Structure 1
Amino acid sequence: MYRRSPSLDAIDVFSPTRYLAGIPHDDFRLLRTEAPVHRHPDPQRPAGFWAVTRHADVVQVSRSSPTFSSNRSTCFLDEVPDEKLAEQQLMMLNLDPPEHSRLRSLVNRGFTPRMISRMRTRLEQACASIVDDALRVGTGDFVELVSAELPLIVIAELMGVPMEDRSKLFEWSVHLASTPELGSEQATTAAMAVYQYANGLGAAKRSCPADDIVSRLVAPDDTGRELSELEFDLFFLLLMFAGNETTRNAISGGMRAMIENPEQWERLRSDPDLAPLAADEIVRWVSPVNAFRRTATKDVELGGELISEGDKVVVFYSSANFDETVFADPLAFDIGRTPNPQIGFGGGGPHFCLGRHLAMHEIEIMFRTLAERIHRVELTGPVRRLRSNFINGITEMPVRLIPA
């Protein structure tokens, strides 16, 4: 049992407002050092929740789905209203094996390394076009000029969404990310718009299948079973949200890190072949997904604390990615860092991000393209961050682009 420090009482890594200034590194460092499994207050639960902040413990929870369930509640930090819980539990993020495995297998073939490598030429073309267009404009919001467009193009092609509709995906995704309260009016309105669009797209793919993920989702599986309308709607929403939010915020946050560490930017410009390592470091540094929630299915000891069945357990990737026992000088942004066992895509186990290879390709190729075409990126105004305890994101970053 860890001795409680009075300073632990002042820690709050739950409030979405706490992340407006960035990842609360001081709080996480104190938790990792003094209480790596910490009973944290929760405004929605009198019993609070267990905050898991060390790399090894986050990995253990992630890989132990029989003990730490996604389906006993959901994976979201906020409590889901009772009337929406059963619906949310149908989403793949909120399922446990074997049902989770069945759904995941439906789209897994679209995200294999071989399939992603076939997209490399298309990614290179898209990145070149995006950066060249941004340079012609010269100044503006980096998120809009550069970060947002690539994942929109990629996810639209993978899902068979017409290119002219990709702005809708962006709008809906932003509304969902900026309202962490699942029952809020804005989140509900955005989700209903996504469901309506998904139903229309699904009907089109049933009548005229194509080589895309949506066509696979609406077709019967090997046993003849089909997704229900709600299952398909939730799956579409998940792929749209995950495909946009994580990659866009990694690119934006990575560029901000380069601006704040100009020696690393010059290092990449001098050696663009560092781009794969840089992509890994960007994901570690940004940690686009801040945390996920699990629910204990039985009494279990973790990090010296006894967790009871039914307890809420939250794993913080943005803390684990800066664990001093795993990463040398973790607060240094080092694009050549190796080894780099970052867990920005999850700590392994059944919920390990199936789009990891695609996201890494997108980040790598975008930063290689930026380094080859841009001499310097300068901030021209304050950076605005997302108010969220779920997604670490930048909503606006005004810049000036100096061409190479």
Structure 2
Amino acid sequence: MNIDLVDQDLYRRDGAPHDQLAWLRANSPVHWHQGDAEREWPGFWAVTKHADVVQVSRRSDLFSSSRKLALFNEVPEDQRALQRLMMLNQDPPEHTRRRSLVNRGFTPRMMGALEGHIRDICHELVDEAKGRGSVDFVRDIAAPLPLYVICELLGAPVEDRDKIFNWSNQMIGAEDPDYAADPSEGPNAAMEVYAYANALAAERRQHPREDIVTKLIMPDAAGETLTEEEFDLFVLLLVVAGNETTRNAASGGMLAFFEHPEQWRRLVGDPALARTAADEIVRWVSPVNLFRRTATADTTIGGQEVKEDDKIVVFYSSANRDEDVFADPGTFDIGRDPNPHIGFGGGGAHFCLGNHLAKLELRVLFEVLAERLPNLAQAGPARRLRSNFINGIKDLPVTLA
């Protein structure tokens, strides 16, 4: 089989290349993937089995997020220093320090306190959509929900959600002509987020509130706090990760229900299934397709020898369909339990900080949709994002009658 796990047009056309990934799991689970000099990326080890993705995820000492950063594209060394201030691109102990500070705003108790607010947002979005009859599920339902929640977390005006939406699109959609026609748009959007974060922090120093910004700029019990650059990069990460993952899980989940109408009927008949459905949606969609690590020493993954400085790429979309872990992995089953998916990462230092919040948003959203829009129907083709990183959907027309 011809293996190309990088072609972004493939992802835009078909979503994650599940046929290739299934072949790799069966025949070459730690596979040497040829590089491309023209596109300026070297060859890499494609890791596709659940157990191997978990191994790489949990061994930050052997598989670094910092040495050459965590995203697929290569970044020149002179640009890596700033990127290493972001938790995504750190290894312990630096990552441990940062995460302990940021954790203050993301405890399960604090996330649980948001449930009523999230439910209100979902009902408001449904009210607005019902008044129009037909809407785009992405722009009118899936995207606004996490944007409203991010504004709530930051204590930012709700009116800022459109700015945050556009910044996120420009950064994540850098290879998609609908979002970033000019290569400078992504970096420019990041600079605007930094300026926005600085303004938020300055305002909270003058007028503290009960929000995550105030918690992060104030010293903890040990006197530790985030530096200005660290805080700016945290807001950048929140704007992207807190928005894109939930938005695309919700959109991909709704598309999965359209493609599996018997599962939608199950949910409508028993909205309490939204609790297990949230995890199944994350498994099925795998909103983040891949992350990159760099081997810090000669070692092995699943019996395959790899060398120090080799590029390692883990594919969550593949691990979440691993036949050795999931019964009938190609079946979308909203009652699946247990469901040991790794849609929030394979554990270890970089397990998703916002996983409780993301599952809460998905659960409440689909409870509300099942209760109030039982006849929700697809009204046109879904258009996918041109990205091998985010399994994203740009448009999903629906009718609500």
Calculate the TM-score normalised by the size of structure 2. 0.95
Distance 2:313 2:78 in 1: 23
One-letter amino acid of the structure 2 residue matched with residue 16 of structure 1? Q
Q: Which residue number corresponds to residue 267 of structure 1?
A: 266
One-letter amino acid of the structure 2 residue matched with residue 73 of structure 1? K
Q: What secondary structure, in the 3-state scheme, does the structure 2 residue paired with 1:375 have?
A: coil
295-304 vs 181-190, which deviates more? 181-190
Q: Which residue number corresponds to residue 224 of structure 1?
A: 223
Q: What secondary structure, in the 3-state scheme, does the structure 2 residue paired with 1:137 have?
A: coil
Q: Which residue number corresponds to residue 248 of structure 1?
A: 247
Contact kept? 1:37, 1:53, Cα under 8 Å: yes
Q: Which residue number corresponds to residue 238 of structure 2?
A: 239
The Cα offsets for residues 102-160 of structure 1, whole Å up to 9 and x where unpaired, read as 11112212222211111111111111111121111111211111101110111111112
Q: Which residue number corresponds to residue 87 of structure 2?
A: 92
Distance 1:361 1:190 in 2: 28
- Measure how far apart 1:261 and its partner are: 0.7
Q: Counterparts of 1:294-333 in structure 2 under 5 Å?
A: 294-333=293-332
Q: Counterparts of 1:3-402 in structure 2 under 5 Å?
A: 7=1, 10-20=2-12, 21-43=14-36, 47-179=42-174, 184-402=183-401
Distance 1:81 1:398 in 2: 40
Q: What secondary structure, in the 3-state scheme, does the structure 1 residue paired with 2:31 have?
A: strand
One-letter amino acid of the structure 2 residue matched with residue 169 of structure 1? I
The Cα offsets for residues 206-240 of structure 1, whole Å up to 9 and x where unpaired, read as 11111111112222344434433222211110011
Q: What secondary structure, in the 3-state scheme, does the structure 1 residue paired with 2:291 have?
A: strand
Q: What secondary structure, in the 3-state scheme, does the structure 2 residue paired with 1:313 have?
A: strand
How large is the RMSD of aligned CA atoms in angstroms? 1.6
Contact kept? 2:41, 2:74, Cα under 8 Å: no
One-letter amino acid of the structure 2 residue matched with residue 377 of structure 1? L
Distance 1:97 1:159 in 2: 26
Gaps of 5+ in 2: none
Summarize the Cα distance change of 1:46–1:120 in structure 2 as closer, same or farther, 3 Å threshold: closer
Q: What secondary structure, in the 3-state scheme, does the structure 2 residue paired with 1:327 have?
A: coil
Contact kept? 2:105, 2:216, Cα under 8 Å: no
64-73 vs 223-232, which deviates more? 223-232
Contact kept? 1:180, 1:389, Cα under 8 Å: no
Distance 1:147 1:118 in 2: 21
Q: What secondary structure, in the 3-state scheme, does the structure 2 residue paired with 1:193 have?
A: helix
Contact kept? 1:284, 1:321, Cα under 8 Å: yes
Distance 2:201 2:107 in 1: 23
Distance 1:24 1:234 in 2: 32
The Cα offsets for residues 308-330 of structure 1, whole Å up to 9 and x where unpaired, read as 11111011000000001111111
Distance 1:45 1:298 in 2: 24
Distance 1:55 1:195 in 2: 36
Distance 1:85 1:47 in 2: 17
Distance 1:215 1:114 in 2: 18
Identity among equivalent pairs (%) = 57
- Measure how far apart 1:344 and its partner are: 0.4
The Cα offsets for residues 176-197 of structure 1, whole Å up to 9 and x where unpaired, read as 1101599931211111111111
One-letter amino acid of the structure 1 residue matched with residue 191 of structure 2? M
Q: What secondary structure, in the 3-state scheme, does the structure 2 residue paired with 1:103 have?
A: helix
Contact kept? 1:180, 1:390, Cα under 8 Å: no
Summarize the Cα distance change of 1:157–1:306 in structure 2 as closer, same or farther, 3 Å threshold: same
The Cα offsets for residues 17-39 of structure 1, whole Å up to 9 and x where unpaired, read as 22111111100001101110011
Q: Which residue number corresponds to residue 3 of structure 1?
A: none
Distance 1:207 1:101 in 2: 29
- Measure how far apart 1:334 and its partner are: 0.6
Distance 1:32 1:399 in 2: 35
Distance 1:350 1:46 in 2: 26
One-letter amino acid of the structure 1 residue matched with residue 233 of structure 2? L
Contact kept? 1:78, 1:180, Cα under 8 Å: no
Q: What secondary structure, in the 3-state scheme, does the structure 1 residue paired with 2:156 have?
A: coil
180-189 vs 93-102, which deviates more? 180-189
Contact kept? 2:41, 2:73, Cα under 8 Å: no
Distance 1:277 1:206 in 2: 41
238-247 vs 105-114, which deviates more? 105-114
The Cα offsets for residues 75-116 of structure 1, whole Å up to 9 and x where unpaired, read as 101111333211111111000111111111122122222111
One-letter amino acid of the structure 1 residue matched with residue 28 of structure 2? A
Distance 2:6 2:75 in 1: 15
Contact kept? 1:73, 1:89, Cα under 8 Å: no
